[in-house]
Structure 1
């Protein structure tokens, strides 16, 4: 049952990653359209999905450790290591398919994160803003909240589990946040 449970956990993780990508893309559309007042909503949704991904990370760790024990592998085996030692049958192919799909999602998330950070750091055109000073302060606070949420989407523990080295991405890893 260990491989079944890990596979189910990976499916849930894939859905959460896809939702994270959707939210990042949605936020970017709002930023490019100049809808800075929407940041409060988009940042809140990003925070929720990142929290869900933290929970999935814990579940994935438990299931992967259980499967590693069942397959007599080291406790903190990565997904590629589990694929390598999988017994004959469907599990090597299925787990590798999960890995490939999740790596693709992480790569797309990286692209969306970079685009969001760039747009957020540029900020709204203050010269063309009709808002008052209080509104501009609220927008700036929401920009900082959104930047924090977007940076949390780096998913260092997932990268480790998938066997993605930081050399494979364009920037250095952030401080671990638990996902």
Structure 2
């Protein structure tokens, strides 16, 4: 059942990538609406999907290596190499469809992450160190501790969200697809 298991792993990875795209879109909408109070939640949701994607990538690698061995290809064969080495029948076309779907999702994810990064950058006034978001003045004389703490929390959430967005690219998947992102 090697090729069937690989196809199932590719479907599962596609599902997680779609969920990641949804989470990034949700985060974008909250940022556009100015709902910074939800930033820690949306960042956590993105991070959770990224964690699951690592597992899915491992599962795909195992299944891919098994199929490669079954078809007489090197264990580290890319999806393009698997397509070329597929036996007569429908597997080449099924794998081509997976590749096209995954490449499309990677392109959408790249655009969504870029948009999210831009929105998060825009939360800081020009020339700032990135510590205080627009609309939140730095602690001035007589600022109470709660206000200062809220400002620091928002700034930390923005920085966390930026760091998580940097991790959304999937270079190993891009390499597996033969490094032709966007084509």
TM-score (norm 1): 0.88
- Structure 2 residue 103 is the aligned partner of structure 1 residue 103: yes
Q: Where does structure 1 differ by over 6 angstroms across 4 or more consecutive aligned residues? A: none
How far does the alpha carbon of each residue in 1:150-173 deviate from its partner, in whole angstroms, 9 at most, with x for none? 11111111111111247x69xxxx
| Distance apart, 1:127 and its partner CA | 5.5
- 2:85 is aligned with 1:85: yes
Unpaired runs of 5+ residues, structure 1, are 170-179
Query: How large is the RMSD of aligned CA atoms in angstroms?
Result: 1.8
Counterpart residue number, 1:9? 9
How many Å separate the matches in 1 of 2:41 and 2:124?
Answer: 17
Task: State the Cα distance separating 1:91 from its structure 2 match.
Answer: 0.3
Which residue does the alignment assign to 1:174? none
* 2:167 corresponds to 1:152: yes
1:68 aligns with 2:68: yes
Per the alignment, residue 135 of structure 2 pairs with 128
CA distances 1:99-155 after superposition (whole Å, capped 9, x unpaired): 100100000000000000111122167463489221111011111111111111111
Residue 75 (structure 1) shift: 0.9
> Which of 46-55 and 147-156 deviates more?
147-156
Give distance in 2, aligned partners of 1:156 and 1:128. 36
TM-score, normalised on structure 2?
Answer: 0.86
SS at match of 1:145: helix
CA distance in 2, matches of 1:83, 1:128: 53
| Paired residue total | 168
Q: Which residue of 2 aligns with 1:139?
A: 154
Q: Which runs of 5+ in 2 are unaligned?
A: 126-132, 138-145
Equivalent position SS for 1:114: helix
Name the CA distance, whole Å, in 1 between partners of 2:123 and 2:152: 12
- Tell me how far 1:74 sits from its aligned partner: 0.9
Partner of 1:74, secondary structure, is coil
